[in-house]
Amino acid sequence: MAEEVNFICTACPQGCSLTVLMENGEVLGVTGNSCKKGLDYANAETSDPRRMVATTVKIRNGFHPLLPVYTERPVPKPMIPQVLAEIRKVELEAPVVMKSVVLENVLGTGINVLASRSMPAKG
Ligand code: SF4
């Protein structure tokens, strides 16, 4: 039986409200999109939803005690709790340069976790 799924397209700031008609995991049609990117977004969101992950890690001897970090690409949505748990295990030593890899290939996803900013050592 066909079902409707509603969500907001986040592929651009316009934020169109998409309605996706689905049956047995197949997309039958998409409405509400103002451009083709919305179709691609709807297909990706219903087959392999992904999100960027941004959080902080501990850093010793840094100007601040925490360093903001982010995944270089979106990770599969169901893996987000495990990805956050892996990132929580990281503890760095200042100084750290912006965009340096703080965790490589997190959970075998092929996605690195990068420093969002540089962090000088204190003193
Ligand atoms: S459908 Fe197109 S215009 Fe609408 S939010 Fe998505 S990318 Fe933007």
What is the per-residue pLDDT across 46-101, written as a single tens digit (0 to 9) for each? Answer: 999 999 999 999 999 999 999 999 999 999 999 999 999 999 999 999 999 999 99
Q: Would residue 7 count as lying in a domain? A: yes
- The CATH number assigned to the domain holding 101 equals 3.10.530.10
Q: Would residue 15 count as lying in a domain? A: yes
Q: How many domains does the chain have?
A: 2
Of ligand 1's listed atoms, the one at least distance from the Cα of 37 is: 7
Nearest CA residue ID for atom 6, ligand 1: 38
Is the distance from the beta carbon of residue 14 to the nearest atom of ligand 1 less than 6 Å?
yes
Same domain assignment for residues 59 and 110? yes
| Full domain range(s) for residue 8 | 3-47
Mean pLDDT confidence for 94-117: 98
Show Cβ contacts of residue 102 under 8 Å, excluding neighbours closer than 6 positions.
Answer: 57, 67, 69, 90, 92, 96, 113, 114, 115
Is the distance from the beta carbon of residue 43 to the nearest atom of ligand 1 less than 6 Å?
no
Cβ-contact 21, 2 below 8 angstroms? yes
Nearest to 72 by CA among 31, 109, 47: 109
Same domain assignment for residues 61 and 18? no
Same domain assignment for residues 38 and 67? no
Q: Would residue 39 count as lying in a domain? A: yes
Q: Would residue 24 count as lying in a domain? A: yes
Q: Whole-angstrom Cα distance, residue 88 to residue 31?
A: 40
Is the distance from the beta carbon of residue 9 to the nearest atom of ligand 1 less than 6 Å?
yes
Confidence (pTM): 0.84
* pLDDT tens sequence across 4-60: 999 999 999 999 999 999 999 889 999 999 999 999 999 999 999 999 999 999 999
Q: Would residue 123 count as lying in a domain? A: no
Q: Would residue 23 count as lying in a domain? A: yes
Q: Whole-angstrom Cα distance, residue 69 to residue 12?
A: 23
Omega of the bond leading into 78 within 30 degrees of 0 (cis)? no
**Centroid of ligand 1 to alpha carbon of 39 (angstroms):** 9
Is the distance from the beta carbon of residue 40 to the nearest atom of ligand 1 less than 6 Å?
no
Same domain assignment for residues 103 and 58? yes
- Report the pLDDT value the prediction gives residue 123, as an integer from 0 to 100: 73
| DSSP per position, 45-109 | HHHS-EE--EEEEEEETBSSSEEEEEESS-EEGGGHHHHHHHHHT-EEES-B-TT-EEESSGGGS
Is the distance from the beta carbon of residue 12 to the nearest atom of ligand 1 less than 6 Å?
yes
